């Protein structure tokens, strides 16, 4: 099944997820890589049925305030290889102004600039087409790779916070960080 891309960059195609077994297979491989999941759940494996019942519906959800999904499958434009996914979703279904940016890419795509390229493209689309006023992103304090992507994408450090982890993982004792980019900051960056 061919789906219409949501966004295309020089090297990436971001497309809506489908409820096909092929997309579920991609999620199973991604979420069962301990390195990919280290800062999410400590690298614990995820059962296929759990991903089908819990994760896939979240990835397929359309937000009424934008008429768009909040998660997109990321594929390499040249080869069609599945790389992972990007998140750019309103924090609430009825308000498109504040969105959360996120990404989960397979290890083979790390260090190649895909996370920054996809994030920048989503941010630009949000501010130009989707009514976004503020982009927020957070990660564990110790997740320096993800923090670098946020900074390269134009977001600035906002705050450090601690939350309740039901099952603490290594590094969670150092808390989390939140980054943000407002429309005014984005417009300034574009003028440079």
Give residues with Cβ within 8 angstroms of 173, minimum separation 6: none
pLDDT of residue 72: 97
- Beta-bridged to residue 180, according to DSSP, are 136, 156
| Model confidence pLDDT, tens digit, residues 87-132 | 999 999 999 999 999 999 999 999 999 999 999 999 999 999 999 9
CA distance 115 to 121: 10
* pLDDT of 1 higher than 70: no
- Contact at 8 Å (CB) between 85 and 76? no
Structure tokens that stand for 69 in this block: 């999904």
pLDDT at 66 over 70: yes
Two structure tokens written together for 37: 């999941």
Least confident of 9-23, 30-44, 87-101, 156-170: 156-170
Binning pLDDT at 50, 70 and 90, where does residue 41 land? very high
pTM above 0.75, yes or no: yes
| Geometric angle at alpha carbon 26, from 21 and 29, rounded to 5° | 120
Query: Is residue 85 within 8 Å of 59, Cβ to Cβ?
Result: yes
Closest CA relative to residue 132, chosen from 60, 42, 68: 68
What's the confidence (pLDDT) of residue 2? 56
Residue 167: which pLDDT band, with cuts at 50, 70 and 90? confident
Q: Give me the pLDDT at residue 106, please.
A: 97
Other beta carbons within 10 angstroms of residue 120's beta carbon come to: 17
């Amino acid at each position: 099944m061919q789906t219409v891309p949501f966004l295309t960059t020089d090297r990436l195609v971001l497309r809506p997820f489908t409820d096909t077994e092929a997309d579920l297979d991609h999620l199973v491989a991604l979420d069962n890589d301990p390195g990919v999941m280290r800062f999410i759940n400590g690298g614990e494996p995820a059962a296929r049925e759990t991903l089908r019942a819990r994760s896939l519906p979240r990835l397929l959800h359309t937000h009424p305030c934008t008429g768009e999904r909040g998660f997109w499958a990321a594929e390499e434009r040249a080869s069609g290889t599945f790389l992972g996914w990007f998140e750019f979703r309103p924090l609430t279904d009825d308000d498109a102004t504040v969105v959360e940016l996120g990404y989960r890419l397979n290890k083979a795509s790390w260090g190649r600039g895909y996370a920054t390229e996809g994030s920048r493209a989503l941010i630009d689309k949000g501010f130009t087409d989707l009514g976004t006023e503020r982009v927020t992103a957070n990660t564990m304090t110790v997740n320096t790779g993800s923090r670098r992507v946020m900074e390269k994408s134009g977001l600035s450090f906002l705050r450090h916070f601690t939350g309740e982890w039901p099952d603490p993982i290594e590094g969670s004792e150092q808390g989390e960080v939140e980054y943000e980019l407002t429309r005014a900051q984005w417009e300034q960056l574009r003028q440079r």
